Copies of this chain bind each other. A is one copy, B any other.
């Protein structure tokens, strides 16, 4: 299929683009920035501009809308920017998809749309009550995507992704930040007890989920796409410490940090045949190796 991938030069987007390319699909890599992989067809554009995305979507069979303000700290500091990109931008991409008559639209949502868990494991029918600007804007895009499915006949899927990690990730995120600081002999900061866990989900697993969702005949409107394994922040520090000497600085809980919740991906496993394949230790070792070679380079 001809698939347009927004944010294709970004962290998750480049994995999604690679996944579709390797499976033989024809990828248009839509981004304001040039993707690192020069074998991709780069479609330069900005989806906050309706005309850009409408033009780029013509003739496509599917759209994977991965592009967003994905840096939660930036979204927190600048909610108008997060709203413009993650909400208005998503509405633009949906509008472009409906005008182009695409057969499938896959949206990158997040497990964090749920907010504090009312029951666990959290499945797709759990209420959504986020409080962080990043998660509020991602929920808004998720609900708009469902609205286009319900009322406008666009065939959509929202994938509520686990905490993504992998080579190429933003280096302010917890795992690379710990690796970097430890490498520099600086202490790493644990906010709160350090017991708060995340279900780290490797970007290659997420990318496969996008392809399975795009290829599936009759998907549900929403799927959690979250690896089973729970890794606490203290365990992340411990893991890094096994490879690089690490000093830990304990601080009170940080404002805006999302509380952990056990997320179930049983529906994606059943309907899409999706299973996370990369264990945290393996994915984290890849990252460590990259940082080690960077230091030598």
A interface residues (Cβ-Cβ under 8 A, vs B): 50, 76, 79-80, 82-84, 87-88, 90-92, 94-95, 127-133, 136-137, 139-140, 143-144, 146-148, 150-151, 255-256
Residues of B within 8 Å of A146, CB to CB, are 131
Q: Is the CB–CB distance between A88 and B80 below 8 Å?
A: yes
Residues of B within 8 Å of A84, CB to CB, are 84, 88
Residues of B within 8 Å of A151, CB to CB, are 76, 131-132, 255-256
Pick from B92, B140, B147: contact of A80, CB under 8 Å:
B92
Residues of B within 8 Å of A88, CB to CB, are 80, 83-84, 87-88
Q: In the assembly, how many copies of this chain are there? A: 2
Q: Is the interface of A mostly helix, strand, loop or mixed?
A: helix
Measured CB to CB, the closest approach of chain B to A221, in angstroms, equals 10
For the complex, give the distance between the alpha carbons of A94 and B88 in Å: 17
For the complex, give the distance between the alpha carbons of A88 and B88 in Å: 7
- Asked, given contacts A87-B83, A88-B80, whether A137 binds B136 with beta carbons under 8 Å apart, the answer is no
Residues of B within 8 Å of A79, CB to CB, are 91, 94-95, 144, 147-148
Pick from B82, B95, B143: contact of A91, CB under 8 Å:
B82
The 7 closest A-B pairs by CB, nearest first: A127-B127, A140-B140, A80-B91, A83-B88, A79-B91, A83-B91, A136-B143
